[in-house]
Amino acid sequence: MAGPGSSMLYSFLLLTVILSLQEVYRGKLASSELFTILGGFTSSLLFLVSLTFIGNFQEASGMKTSWGAVILAEAIALIAASTVHRVCITTW
């Protein structure tokens, strides 16, 4: 079982890879209806990975978990989805 430190590292790496791939291919993701739904799916993956990263960061630093982590992870995913297409916000 992975500890909070290694899980935080892996989730941060996945966050940067998914976010950068989503930004590189945002023209392709906005080109058709099916790809727009795929853009929303990648934004939901961003939400999951960023929430994992923030939760592990809070656990490793000894902070108490709160709803602020969920709101921050949601804001990250919403902003990333809005850079691709408006419909990606509703599909994530």
Residues 6+ apart with CB under 8 A from 74: 47
**Strand residues in 20-65 grouped as ranges (E):** none
Max CA distance (Å), the chain: 45
Q: Which two three-digit tokens encode residue 26?
A: 């945002």
For 39-92, what is each residue's pLDDT tens digit? 999 999 999 999 999 999 999 888 887 899 999 999 999 999 999 999 889 887
Q: What is the reported pTM?
A: 0.89
CA–CA dist 3, 1 (Å, integer): 7
Q: Which two three-digit tokens encode residue 51?
A: 């929430």
Confidence at residue 1, expressed as pLDDT on a 0 to 100 scale: 67
Do 70 and 76 touch, CB atoms closer than 8 A? no
Provide the domain count of the chain: 1
Range of the domain at 52: 4-91
